[in-house]
């Protein structure tokens, strides 16, 4: 009961604080932008801790954040090795290959109406294959190491980036294209100077969705066979051993790495699409 | 109708490549067997038919998959447990429920985020972080927790599905609702429009292209979520169970058939969303 | 004693007059002949005759039975003893109430052309293992052989194999873990001949551990009503097992009817039932203390990294089987 009340008080207090902070001058600064979500995150953790303790949830169902934190501190080297295997080797390489391929494909089918009519529906169909299904097949083909994980990531990120880029390339208005035509701009000039910049908000939309998919894809692929290192491997192995604190430690690392990756892409987006209305504050 | 020829050409090329790949990938097995039987390795001409109809091919040929697909879709009564229609329906129902929940939640969050500065600053980073959680890892926990609360069946799967589909909608809608430029917002301000009016009359209409682009990704994500959600329930029924049980027993033909069934379902769902998109944008005069 | 009589009486009267007691059983793996006894007991009405309404939940690669029972999702789970004892050491008080499986079906199956003839040849080879609680018997064996499993020189390279035997078929691993009743036959079905393979049974290597026992939470056992329910459950289950051993083909068909995925084949299930019957033969359901001691000794002898560190106390009981089997 006490824990329940504590959880509620913490929640209400922190939210009130955040509302005040978000209207204060502090959020104009870079640091202020970090403080507000940080408070929110800490609140969630505290409420979680209180709830787990209050309801006496067994540790094998949901461990409290304090136990998870202790585990992270303790298992640093293991977590780093897993992170390197899954994120740096599998997810990042797959992301780079997949996004590049999707972007180039989008430009290729933009150039040729024939390909656009033929490839896009087929591409939609093939790319809609659920990831879980192709994972065992790709593991069978590309072996157990990071290559198969990267292959899964390639397939996973391809679709969102392709769809968004194709949509983005159509985002110019007839008036704008006519203007380019009156300048007697070539196809490539129009593409580079008008249509690609105009497509960027859409492209980044796809790239951002792909960041989270990449990490999930790499982790999920490890469920279907892997060497004995990697975040997905550790999660399955530890669930069976009831090491739920270790499972959540891996999840925390995944969430942290994924958010940082997303943040990086979002930062590049802000730099490159500063002109778009949605970027104005 | 214009699209038929290009699609046919592309499909023919893919099918041809597929057959080549099947011969290439299934051949090592034939050679391996020949070596162990201490027989002469087959010539290429002898090899080709041997790779076409293996029981456990590395890559089943298109006609094997098509035959299995037809057999398990039309060859069985729809209530049979070997019927893909039966499994497909189970997955679709969880997908749709999850999609509705996820879309609703995503839109609500997006509306909250553009109107409330505190929500914008605090929720968005965590919504992103939530998506980096490997769903397959927490799916069993969701099922276990829901189970101990007495909720079973469709809802836990739909929740996993909603968890995956809300994010694309959220990202797209935040972008879409912010897409009206300053001039348009200022105009509404000079009319003395309230926030709610600005939302309904300007922001929501201008967000439609973004919404539909996200919905197409979202419904595909929902399907993936529903399939993932079927695994930790003991893979009882549904396309996910079909995929996984095919994987346990090394029945590659069954995996590919289930995969194509899932892709057909996904394509159908995306097509429905696209149709709604075209209708809506046309009526709004936004079709290009 | 009186309760048992009452229980039996109720059981005899079961059905209309009284609502049957609900029991939820979590299987360790998917619906297959490995669990034929429980499905047979259900289909033959043995549970009903005991006044029980049993729900059988199939497992799968993502289902840890220990976690399910900790979350209250099942009354009784089927698990392997190493995993159950490890869970017990982690603070989840699981108790073995019955042990229908006498022998272990676990093997390491190797390709002959990989150059492996004896366990001494494992060094430097790639071996496929299941994880998620099923790795303990393997790690224990490697410890005994003095082979490192962490990838250091002179040891073995461990691969987390998926749910099938592809690694050995594709030559990605020299050996894979198999069960006598399941994966071994998948290799044979895939076209490898028995003479192409070298098989190491855990049972023969002296590293066998008890598989497929029935486990419940210790605190619930103190409740007489629960105890009574389990007595009836074990009695009916063992009846189911003996029926399945005698009616092997019919039992396989019952399993097939209960397989909601529709992926199992009649041939495979009948064959599996035949192999399973060999493992359940010789057990009347009661845990053999000698087998238990052997399992514990094996698990504790694991060199630098034993599966369990302290001799478990109260990890099994004859409390249920004594009453069920009298």
Note whether A262 contacts B: Cβ–Cβ < 8 A.
Answer: yes
Mutate to test the interface with A, among B98, B136, B207, B256 (most CBs of A within 10 A): B136
Residue A62: DSSP 8-state = -
For A108-162, the DSSP string reads HHHH-HHHHHHHHHHHHHHHTS-HHHHHHHHHHHH-SSHHHHHHHHHHHHHHHHH
Residue B1: DSSP 8-state = -
pLDDT score at B10: 81
pLDDT over 50 (residue A254): yes
β-pairing verdict for C21-26 and C76-79: parallel
For the residues A49-53, what does the mean pLDDT come to?
A: 84
Residue C80: DSSP 8-state = -
For chains B and C, count residue pairs whose Cβ atoms are closer than 8 Å: 97
CB distance A227–C160 less than 8 Å? yes
pLDDT-derived band at C12, boundaries 50, 70, 90 = very low
CA distance B184 to B207: 14
The count of other CB atoms within 10 Å of the CB of residue C35 is: 26
Beta carbons of A22 and B118 less than 8 angstroms apart: yes
| Close Cβ partners of B36 (under 8 Å, ≥ 6 residues apart) | C113, C192, C193, C196
pLDDT-derived band at A98, boundaries 50, 70, 90 = very high
Mutate to test the interface with A, among B26, B69, B137 (most CBs of A within 10 A): B137
pLDDT score at A198: 85
Beta carbons of A20 and A39 less than 8 angstroms apart: no
Beta carbons of B209 and B224 less than 8 angstroms apart: no
Lowest mean pLDDT of A7-21, A208-222, C20-34, C261-275, name the range: A7-21
CA distances from B66 to B57, B61, B140, C168, C307 (A): 15, 9, 33, 28, 48
Q: Provide the angle, in degrees to the nearest 10, between the axes of the packed helices A146-169 and B204-230.
A: 160
pLDDT over 90 (residue A52): no
The tokens describing A9, both together, are 């008080």
Q: What would the pLDDT profile of B220-267 be if each residue is shown by its tens digit? A: 888 888 887 776 655 567 788 777 777 766 677 888 888 888 888 888
CA distance C150 to C163: 22
CA distances from A45 to A63, A68, B30, B123, C2 (A): 11, 11, 57, 14, 52
Q: Which among C67, C165, C261 has CB closest to B250?
A: C165
For the residues B266-280, what does the mean pLDDT come to?
A: 87
Beta carbons of A219 and B136 less than 8 angstroms apart: yes
pLDDT over 60 (residue B1): no
CA distances from A210 to A85, A259, C120 (A): 19, 12, 47
| Segment holding C57, helix H or strand E | strand C52-57
For the residues B172-177, what does the mean pLDDT come to?
A: 86
CB distance C132–A224 less than 8 Å? no
- The three-state secondary structure class of C79 is strand
| Close Cβ partners of B100 (under 8 Å, ≥ 6 residues apart) | none
pLDDT over 90 (residue A99): yes
**Phi, psi dihedral angles at A95 (to 5 degrees):** -60, -50
Residue the block writes with tokens 């270790």: A246
pLDDT-derived band at C268, boundaries 50, 70, 90 = confident
CB neighbour class for C64 (10 Å; exposed up to 12, middle 13-18, buried from 19): buried
Beta carbons of B240 and C61 less than 8 angstroms apart: no
Which has more confidence, C161 or B37? C161
Q: Above pLDDT 70, what percent of chain B?
A: 89
The tokens describing B88, both together, are 């497909």
Residue-wise over C186-199: b if at least 16 C-beta within 10 A, else e?
bbbbbbbeeebbbe
pTM: 0.80
For the residues B48-75, what does the mean pLDDT come to?
A: 79
Residue of B nearest to C164 (CA): B248
**What are all long-range contacts of C311-314, with beta carbons under 8 Å and residues at least 24 apart?**
C312/C85, C312/C88, C312/C89, C314/C93, C314/C95, C314/C218
pLDDT over 60 (residue A61): yes
CB neighbour class for A259 (10 Å; exposed up to 12, middle 13-18, buried from 19): buried
Q: What would the pLDDT profile of C212-245 be if each residue is shown by its tens digit? A: 889 999 888 888 888 888 889 888 898 888 888 8
Mutate to test the interface with C, among A222, A240, A250 (most CBs of C within 10 A): A240
The count of other CB atoms within 10 Å of the CB of residue A21 is: 19
Note whether C190 contacts B: Cβ–Cβ < 8 A.
Answer: yes
pLDDT-derived band at C16, boundaries 50, 70, 90 = very low
CA distances from C148 to C106, C143, C302 (A): 21, 7, 12
Q: Cα C283 to chain center, whole Å?
A: 14
pLDDT score at A107: 86
pLDDT over 70 (residue A26): no
The tokens describing B70, both together, are 């037809």
Q: Which among C161, C163, C172 has CB closest to A143?
A: C172
CA-nearest of C241, C279, C294, C324 to C102 is C279
CB distance B263–A129 less than 8 Å? yes
pLDDT score at A100: 93
Q: What would the pLDDT profile of A134-178 be if each residue is shown by its tens digit? A: 777 787 778 778 888 899 899 888 877 887 888 788 878 888 888
Q: What would the pLDDT profile of B137-149 be if each residue is shown by its tens digit? A: 677 777 777 776 7
For C4-35, the DSSP string reads HHHHHHHHHHTTTSSPPEEEEEE-SSSSSGGG
CA distance C9 to A160: 64
H helix intervals, chain C: 2-13, 36-43, 46-49, 65-70, 81-89, 136-145, 166-169, 183-189, 218-221, 224-246, 248-258, 266-280, 289-300, 319-324
Question: What mean pLDDT is reported for chain B?
Answer: 81
CA distances from A37 to A27, B79, B122, B127, C52 (A): 11, 50, 4, 11, 53
pLDDT score at A93: 93
pLDDT-derived band at A197, boundaries 50, 70, 90 = confident
pLDDT score at C8: 47
The count of other CB atoms within 10 Å of the CB of residue B149 is: 11
Q: Which residues pair with A226 in a beta bridge?
A: C160
Residue of C nearest to A78 (CA): C150
**Phi, psi dihedral angles at C109 (to 5 degrees):** -110, 125
| Close Cβ partners of C136 (under 8 Å, ≥ 6 residues apart) | C80, C82, C83, C86, C209, C299, C307
pLDDT over 50 (residue C10): no
CB distance A233–C133 less than 8 Å? no
Which has more confidence, C10 or A188? A188
| Close Cβ partners of B196 (under 8 Å, ≥ 6 residues apart) | none
Question: What mean pLDDT is reported for chain A?
Answer: 82
CB distance C263–B249 less than 8 Å? yes
pLDDT-derived band at C76, boundaries 50, 70, 90 = very high
Question: Which of A 70-109 lie inside 8 A of B, CB atoms?
Answer: none
CA-nearest of C173, C12, B238 to A140 is C173
CA-nearest of C264, C71, C30, C75 to B236 is C30
CA distances from A242 to A17, A58, A236, A239, C160 (A): 38, 11, 10, 5, 18
CB neighbour class for C65 (10 Å; exposed up to 12, middle 13-18, buried from 19): buried
For B7-24, the DSSP string reads HHHHHHHHHHHHHHHHHH
CA distance C76 to C96: 10
The tokens describing B162, both together, are 């909603």
Strand order in the sheet with C52-57: C52-57, C21-26, C76-79, C213-217, C94-98
For the residues B175-180, what does the mean pLDDT come to?
A: 84
CA distance C147 to C141: 9
CB distance B134–A216 less than 8 Å? yes
Q: What would the pLDDT profile of B83-129 be if each residue is shown by its tens digit? A: 778 888 888 988 999 999 999 999 999 888 888 777 777 787 788 77
């Amino acid at each position: 009961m006490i824990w329940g009340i504590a959880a509620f008080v913490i929640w209400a207090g922190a939210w009130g604080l955040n509302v005040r902070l978000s209207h204060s001058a502090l959020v104009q600064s870079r640091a202020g932008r970090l403080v507000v979500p940080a408070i929110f995150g800490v609140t969630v953790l505290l409420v979680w801790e209180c709830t787990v303790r209050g309801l006496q949830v067994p540790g094998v169902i949901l461990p409290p954040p304090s136990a998870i934190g202790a585990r992270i501190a303790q298992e640093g080297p293991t977590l780093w090795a897993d992170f390197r295997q899954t994120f740096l080797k599998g997810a990042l390489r797959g992301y780079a290959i997949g996004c590049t391929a999707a972007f180039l494909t989008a430009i290729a089918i933009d150039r040729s109406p024939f390909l656009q009519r033929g490839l896009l529906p087929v591409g939609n169909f093939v790319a809609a294959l659920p990831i879980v299904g192709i994972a065992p097949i790709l593991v069978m083909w590309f072996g157990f190491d990071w290559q198969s994980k990267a292959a899964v990531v390639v397939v996973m990120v391809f679709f969102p980036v392709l769809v968004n880029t194709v949509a983005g390339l159509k985002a110019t208005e007839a008036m704008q294209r006519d203007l380019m035509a009156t300048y007697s701009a070539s196809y490539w000039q129009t593409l580079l100077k008008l249509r690609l910049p105009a497509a960027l908000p859409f492209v980044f939309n796809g790239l951002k969705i792909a960041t989270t998919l990449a990490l999930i894809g790499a982790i999920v692929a490890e469920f279907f066979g892997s060497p004995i290192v990697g975040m997905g491997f550790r999660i399955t192995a530890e669930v069976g051993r009831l090491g739920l604190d270790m499972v959540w430690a891996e999840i925390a690392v995944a969430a942290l790495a994924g958010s940082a990756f997303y943040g990086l892409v979002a930062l590049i987006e802000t730099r490159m699409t500063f002109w778009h209305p949605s970027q104005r504050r | 109708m214009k699209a038929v020829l290009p699609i046919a050409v592309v499909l023919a090329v893919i099918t041809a490549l597929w057959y080549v790949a099947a011969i290439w990938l299934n051949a090592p097995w034939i050679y391996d067997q020949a070596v162990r039987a201490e027989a002469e390795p087959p010539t290429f001409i002898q090899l080709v038919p041997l790779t076409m109809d293996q029981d456990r091919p590395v890559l089943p040929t298109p006609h094997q998959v098509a035959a299995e697909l037809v057999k398990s879709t039309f060859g069985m009564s729809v209530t049979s447990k070997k019927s893909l229609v039966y499994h497909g329906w189970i997955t679709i129902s969880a997908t749709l429920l999850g999609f509705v929940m996820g879309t609703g939640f995503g839109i609500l969050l997006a509306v909250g985020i553009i109107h409330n500065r505190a929500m914008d600053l605090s929720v968005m980073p965590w919504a992103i972080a939530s998506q980096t959680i490997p769903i397959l890892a927490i799916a069993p926990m969701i099922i276990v927790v829901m189970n101990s609360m007495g909720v079973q069946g469709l809802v836990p799967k739909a929740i996993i599905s909603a968890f995956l589909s809300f994010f694309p909608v959220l990202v797209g809608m935040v972008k879409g609702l912010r897409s009206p430029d300053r001039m348009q917002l200022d105009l509404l301000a000079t009319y003395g429009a309230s926030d709610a009016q600005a939302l309904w009359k300007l922001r929501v209409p201008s967000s439609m292209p973004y919404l539909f682009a996200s919905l197409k990704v979202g419904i595909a994500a929902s399907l993936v979520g529903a399939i993932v959600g079927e695994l930790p329930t003991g893979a009882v029924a549904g396309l996910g169970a079909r995929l996984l049980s095919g994987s346990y027993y090394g029945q590659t033909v069954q995996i590919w058939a289930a995969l194509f069934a899932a892709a057909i379902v996904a394509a159908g769902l995306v097509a429905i969303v696209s149709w709604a998109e075209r209708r809506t944008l046309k009526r709004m005069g936004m079709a290009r | 004693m009186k309760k048992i009589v009452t229980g039996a009486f109720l059981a005899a009267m079961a059905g209309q007059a009284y609502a049957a007691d609900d029991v939820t059983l979590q299987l360790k793996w998917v619906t297959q002949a490995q669990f034929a006894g429980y499905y047979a007991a259900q289909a033959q009405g043995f549970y009903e005759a005991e006044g029980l309404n049993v729900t059988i939940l199939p497992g799968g690669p993502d289902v840890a039975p220990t976690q399910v029972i900790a979350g209250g999702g099942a009354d009784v789970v089927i698990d392997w003893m190493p995993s159950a004892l490890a869970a017990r050491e982690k603070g989840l008080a699981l108790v073995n109430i019955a042990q229908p499986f006498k022998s272990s079906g676990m093997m390491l199956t190797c390709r002959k052309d990989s150059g492996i003839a004896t366990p001494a040849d494992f060094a430097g080879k790639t071996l496929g293992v299941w994880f998620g609680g099923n790795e303990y018997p393997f790690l224990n064996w490697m410890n005994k052989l003095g082979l490192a499993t962490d990838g250091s020189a002179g040891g073995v390279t461990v691969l987390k194999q998926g749910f099938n035997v592809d690694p050995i078929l594709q030559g990605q691993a020299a050996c894979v873990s198999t069960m006598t009743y399941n994966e071994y036959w998948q290799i044979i079905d895939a076209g490898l001949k028995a003479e192409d393979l070298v098989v190491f049974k855990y049972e023969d290597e002296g590293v066998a551990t008890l598989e497929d026992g029935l486990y419940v939470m210790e605190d619930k056992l103190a409740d007489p009503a629960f105890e009574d329910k389990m007595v009836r459950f074990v009695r009916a289950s063992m009846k189911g097992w003996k029926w399945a051993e005698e009616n092997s083909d019919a039992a396989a068909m019952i399993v097939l009817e209960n397989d909601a995925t529709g992926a199992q084949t009649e041939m495979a299930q009948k064959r599996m039932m035949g192999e399973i019957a060999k493992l359940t033969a010789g057990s009347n359901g009661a845990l053999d203390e000698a087998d238990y001691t052997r399992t514990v000794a094996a698990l504790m002898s694991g060199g630098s990294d034993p599966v369990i560190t302290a001799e478990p106390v109260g990890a099994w009981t004859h409390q249920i089987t004594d009453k069920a089997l009298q």
